[in-house]
Amino acid sequence: MELLGIDIGGSGIKGAPVDRETGALLAPRFRLATPEPAKPPAVAEVVKQVVEHFDWKGPIGCGFPGVIIHGVTLTAVNIHKQWVGLNAAEFLTQATGCPTCMVNDADAAGLAEMAFGAGKDRMGVVLLVTIGTGLGTALFTDGHLLPNCEFGHMKIRGVDAEWRASDAARQRDGLSWKKWAGRFNEFLQTMEYLVWPDLIILGGGVSKEHEKFFPYLEVRAELLPAQMLNEAGIVGAALAARCIPLEE
């Protein structure tokens, strides 16, 4: 069965049809730039263009950089504040003509990794951290997601953890991999103290370069790089759309 997954990001909006049984993309992903400013009507227009590119008529899953509860966006850290309080699921359904399910972007990446990637068939507590502009987190217990865990905004040394330990912070402060890993390790050890994961999966753009910083990380949990890479958000968003009834 096919579902369309769309990943709404701060810089790009990309999508592809996904085989929900295997996690495979059924066509090359299609990407357009996120409009600036990223107000709801402008973003909806780009999402509509992605839908039209694939001539898609069925359910859509959309990953979004914020807290999502019952289709409503409650935060918008790296996107326009007009999204806050908006029923984004209904808004995008009206814009595209396709039933739409919204999911937090880190949760989407986690769903993909747990179904087809580094977390496949893993029980116990699994923590996924996406490292990019911020620190996204997804938490699973025996395969079940606890949605909207915004641990990247936890205070460490008086500021949001992601302000010190994201990849954006590494680049902003000109840190070596070793120096940055010290900051990031402090975040991981704090997470271990709070939720005691059995497995930590590290995703986001820097996961492709995990050999450069994994040797400097010291945690109790098993530590693995994410496997789904740039496809995780699309695949996970499509999986979230499984809750939408399919027409026979």
Tens-place pLDDT, residues 121-169: 999 999 999 999 899 999 999 999 999 999 999 999 999 999 999 999 9
Cβ contacts of residue 245 below 8 Å, gap of 6+?
A: none
Give CATH 3.30.420.40 domain extents, the chain: 2-107+231-243, 120-227
| pLDDT for residue 229 | 86
Q: Let me know if domain 120-227 sits in CATH 3.30.420.40.
A: yes
Cβ-based neighbour number of residue 226 at 10 Å: 24
Residues in the chain where the model's pLDDT stays below 50: 248
DSSP one-letter string for 4-60: EEEEE-SSEEEEEEEETTT--BSS--EEEEPPSS--HHHHHHHHHHHHHHTT--S-E
**DSSP letter assigned to residue 248:** -
Q: How far apart are CA 17 and CA 4, in angstroms?
A: 4
Distance CA 148, CA 56 (A): 28
Q: Tell me what pLDDT residue 245 has.
A: 60
Give me the pLDDT at residue 64, please.
96
The CATH class for the domain spanning 2-107+231-243 reads alpha beta
pLDDT score for 242: 82
| pLDDT at position 77 | 80
Confidence at residue 248, expressed as pLDDT on a 0 to 100 scale: 36
Cβ distance 154 to 164 under 8 Å?
Answer: no
